[in-house]
Amino acid sequence: MGASTPKQVAKAQRKAARKVRQEKKNAELKALEKNGYRESGNQDNYPQNLMDAERKAAASKPATPASTSGQ
């Protein structure tokens, strides 16, 4: 198989970036669903339901330790 052309390399990079974005989006949606948000559920309280799920998801994430640089 021959060397890749710059066009092929660029296409592969775009495809890899698209895959990363899709995986991130799916992980975020899964976290929201785990915390009570239902995309196809009752939409009467849509913004509030989403904000509640985001708040729960943020609260369930482990806290990141403070930077210890300079010590």
| Distance, first Cα to last Cα, the chain | 53
Q: How many Cβ atoms from other residues are within 10 Å of residue 31's Cβ?
A: 17
Domain range for 48 is 6-54
Looking at the domain assignment, is residue 25 inside a domain?
Answer: yes
Looking at the domain assignment, is residue 70 inside a domain?
Answer: no
Residue 71: its pLDDT value, please? 45
3-state secondary structure of 36: coil
Report which residue type is found at 42.
N
Residues 6 or more apart whose CB falls under 8 angstroms from that of 46 comprise: none
Is residue 32 within 8 Å of residue 6, measured between CB atoms?
A: no
Residue 36: its pLDDT value, please? 85
Looking at the domain assignment, is residue 60 inside a domain?
Answer: no
As for how many domains the chain has, the answer is 1
Q: Is the pTM of this model over 0.85?
A: no
Q: What is the pLDDT along the chain (71 residues), one digit of tens a residue?
A: 567 899 999 999 999 999 999 999 999 999 988 988 887 767 787 888 889 989 998 888 776 555 455 54
